[in-house]
């Protein structure tokens, strides 16, 4: 587990610096002096929302010389007592912590520890810490001389490396049915032999198998894989576009980011945690949908959430004239058939614009131009959105 302990009395990180940290398996400890407890910016709070329950606010009860330092030292001791594999970053300009840092290093009471004066300096410290605190990789030449060689973990033990590999495997499983094997050993085999062939080529066969097995365990923990208790065969449970939409809406309502940038970061971070990468256009479409549903409203960069004051409630958008597909009479019949089509394939809806177009062409016998008009009608009725990659995101009205 990663732990970032921030001495907020003398170092106030920028919100953007916190966004550079991996939010998975990372705890943020914010130590607030008596005078800083009422001055936290909205932007900083939004950046901290990414870490959810892993954010800890430690309030120093009284002012006094070194009061905050004693608090930080106490909680540092609690962390190392309960987590021997902790990777720790102390963010402080107080060099007095260096003695404590050296003591923890010398006695190997944690996997790694460093004191920084600025979060940007993470890129300047040794690879074993930076690789676990950030997604960036640091060349081996930048390792400080005082870092003992034996303290550098192997790449295949690095949390960030495993997370990156897990993301690639999850996306491969979601996008390609042929990877969804029923046997656990077969799945492990195809992961290290095919899906992660390039990433794992530098390791021997046993390490490759161990990495693949740890990824399978990770995906099982997240509920993406389930083994039948009788025969052990695997079943796959991926988050559908509808489920992802519900998850993102719940996260947006919970976090209540006050700025558009903060809202976009909340959406992007939560989607990534579900192994879905959303582009800027996808996020913009979702924000537009949230506004249409009166979940939030936007004034320039400012975001407000329902319920809105009666005087500022958003007016209902004017209904635009629906484009004609063929003619008024035939369009009624077409829409009835479309509704029947979606009712029949509730659990197996076309996932892309191309697949939907082919289905409509087969069932409705329409021309390409008519199908395009029909799709635009369904988008205007909030049936679904289409991402910049052609993927369909179905909406719940």
pLDDT tens-digit readout, 243-260: 889 989 998 888 788 888
Phi and psi of 29, rounded to 5°? -110, 110
Q: Which of 318, 304, 290, 283 shows the shortest CA–CA distance to 388?
A: 283
Q: Span 368-391, mean pLDDT?
A: 86
Mean pLDDT, all residues of the chain: 82
d(CA 37, CA 47) in angstroms, rounded, equals 17
pLDDT at 54 over 50: yes
Instruction: Tell me the sheet residues that pair with 32.
Output: 59
* pLDDT (tens digit per residue) in 278-287: 888 889 999 9
d(CA 326, CA 335) in angstroms, rounded, equals 11
d(CA 229, CA 221) in angstroms, rounded, equals 16
* pLDDT (tens digit per residue) in 13-41: 888 778 777 777 789 999 998 877 777 88
What is the pLDDT at residue 231?
92
pLDDT at 152 over 60: no
- What pLDDT band is residue 139 in, cutting at 50, 70 and 90? very low
What kind of architecture, by CATH, is found in domain 2-130?
Answer: 3-Layer(aba) Sandwich (3.40)
What is the pLDDT at residue 198?
92
What is the pLDDT at residue 377?
87
Q: Which residue carries 């029949």 as its tokens?
A: 344
What is the pLDDT at residue 164?
84
Residue 254's region, left for phi above 0, alpha for psi from -120 to 50, else beta, is alpha
* 151-155, 183-187, 206-210, 272-276: the lowest-pLDDT one: 151-155
d(CA 18, CA 40) in angstroms, rounded, equals 14
pLDDT at 184 over 90: yes
Domains 2-130 and 156-236 share a fold: no
* pLDDT (tens digit per residue) in 74-124: 999 999 988 888 889 999 888 888 888 888 888 888 888 888 888 776 644
3-state secondary structure the chain: CEEEEEECCCCCCCHHHHHCCCCCCEEEEEEECCCCCCCCCHHHHHHHHCCHHHEEEEECCCCCCCHHHHHHHHHHHHHHHHCCCCEEEEECCCCCHHHHHHHHHHCCCCCEEEEECCHHHHHHCCHHHHHHHCCCCCCHHHCCCCCCHHHCCCHHHCHHHHHHHHHHHHHHHHHCHHHCCCCHHHHHHHHHHHHCHHHHCCCCHHHHHHHHHHHHHHHHHCCCEEECCCCCCEEECCCCHHHHHHHHHHHHHHHCCCEHHHHHHHHHHHHHHCCCCCCHHHHHHHHHHHHHCCCEEEECCEEEECCCCHHHCCCCCCCCCCCCCCCHHHHHHHHHHHHHHHHHCCCCCCCEHHHHHHHHHHHHCCCHHHHHHHHHHHHHCCCEEECCCCEEEECCC
CATH class, 241-305 region: mainly alpha
Q: Span 140-167, mean pLDDT?
A: 58
- What pLDDT band is residue 289 in, cutting at 50, 70 and 90? very high
- What pLDDT band is residue 315 in, cutting at 50, 70 and 90? low
Q: Which of 320, 293, 319 shows the shortest CA–CA distance to 397?
A: 293
What is the pLDDT at residue 286?
92
What is the pTM for the complete model shown?
0.46
Answer for the pair 86, 59: CB distance below 8 angstroms, yes or no: no
What is the pLDDT at residue 90?
92
What is the pLDDT at residue 322?
60
d(CA 316, CA 293) in angstroms, rounded, equals 10
Which structure tokens are listed for 344? 């029949």
What is the pLDDT at residue 123?
45
Q: Which of 119, 114, 121 shows the shortest CA–CA distance to 138?
A: 121
Answer for the pair 374, 334: CB distance below 8 angstroms, yes or no: yes
Domain boundaries, the chain: 2-130, 156-236, 241-305, 328-394
Answer for the pair 112, 88: CB distance below 8 angstroms, yes or no: yes
Q: Verify cis geometry, omega within 30 degrees of 0, for the bond prior to 278.
A: no
- What pLDDT band is residue 143 in, cutting at 50, 70 and 90? very low
- What pLDDT band is residue 148 in, cutting at 50, 70 and 90? very low
What is the pLDDT at residue 313?
47
d(CA 123, CA 320) in angstroms, rounded, equals 52
Q: Is 328 or 139 the better-scoring residue by pLDDT? A: 328
Fold of 156-236: Arc Repressor Mutant, subunit A (1.10.10)
- What pLDDT band is residue 150 in, cutting at 50, 70 and 90? very low
Answer for the pair 31, 68: CB distance below 8 angstroms, yes or no: yes
Q: Which of 28, 19, 20, 26 shows the shortest CA–CA distance to 1?
A: 26
pLDDT at 145 over 50: no
pLDDT at 189 over 90: yes
What is the pLDDT at residue 314?
53
Q: Span 214-243, mean pLDDT?
A: 89
Which structure tokens are listed for 156? 């295949």
Q: Span 123-141, mean pLDDT?
A: 44
Which structure tokens are listed for 14? 């920028």
Q: Is 289 or 321 the better-scoring residue by pLDDT? A: 289
Q: Span 306-316, mean pLDDT?
A: 66
What is the pLDDT at residue 383?
86
d(CA 95, CA 77) in angstroms, rounded, equals 18
What is the pLDDT at residue 258?
84
- What pLDDT band is residue 137 in, cutting at 50, 70 and 90? very low
């Amino acid at each position: 587990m990663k732990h970032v302990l921030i001495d907020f009395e003398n170092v106030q990180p920028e919100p953007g610096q916190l966004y550079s940290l991996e939010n998975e398996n990372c705890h943020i400890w914010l130590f607030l002096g008596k005078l800083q407890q009422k001055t936290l910016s909205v932007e900083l709070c939004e950046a901290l929302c990414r870490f959810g329950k892993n954010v800890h606010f430690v309030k120093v009860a009284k002012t006094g010389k070194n009061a905050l330092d004693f608090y930080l030292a106490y909680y540092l001791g609690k962390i190392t007592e309960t987590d021997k594999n902790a990777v720790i970053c102390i963010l402080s300009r107080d060099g007095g912590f260096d003695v404590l840092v050296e003591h923890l290093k010398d006695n190997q009471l944690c996997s790694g520890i460093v004191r920084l004066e600025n979060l940007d300096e993470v890129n300047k410290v040794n690879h074993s810490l930076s690789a676990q605190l950030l997604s960036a990789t640091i060349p081996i030449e930048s390792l400080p001389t005082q870092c003992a060689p034996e303290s550098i973990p192997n790449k295949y033990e690095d949390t960030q490396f495993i997370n990156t590999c897990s993301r690639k495997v999850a996306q491969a499983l979601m996008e390609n049915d042929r990877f969804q094997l029923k046997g656990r050993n077969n799945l492990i085999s195809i992961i290290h032999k095919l899906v992660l062939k390039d990433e794992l080529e530098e390791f021997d066969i046993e390490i490759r198998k161990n990495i693949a097995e740890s990824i399978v365990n990770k995906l099982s923990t997240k509920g993406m894989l389930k083994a039948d208790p009788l025969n052990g065969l695997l079943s796959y449970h991926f988050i559908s576009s509808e489920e992802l939409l519900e998850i993102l809406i719940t996260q947006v309502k919970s976090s209540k980011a006050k700025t558009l940038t903060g809202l976009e970061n909340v959406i992007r971070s939560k989607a990534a945690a579900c192994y879905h990468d959303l582009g800027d256009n996808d996020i913009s479409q979702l924000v537009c949908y949230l506004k249409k549903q009166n979940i939030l409203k936007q004034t320039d960069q400012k975001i407000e959430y329902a319920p809105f004051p009666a005087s500022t409630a958003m007016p209902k958008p004017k209904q635009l004239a629906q484009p004609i597909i063929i003619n008024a009479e035939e369009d009624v019949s077409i829409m009835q058939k479309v509704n029947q089509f979606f009712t029949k394939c509730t659990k197996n809806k076309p996932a892309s614009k191309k697949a939907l177009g082919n289905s409509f062409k087969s069932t409705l016998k329409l021309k390409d131009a008519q199908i395009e008009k029909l799709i635009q009608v369904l988008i205007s009725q909030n049936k679904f959105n289409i991402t910049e990659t052609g993927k369909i995101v179905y909406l719940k009205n």
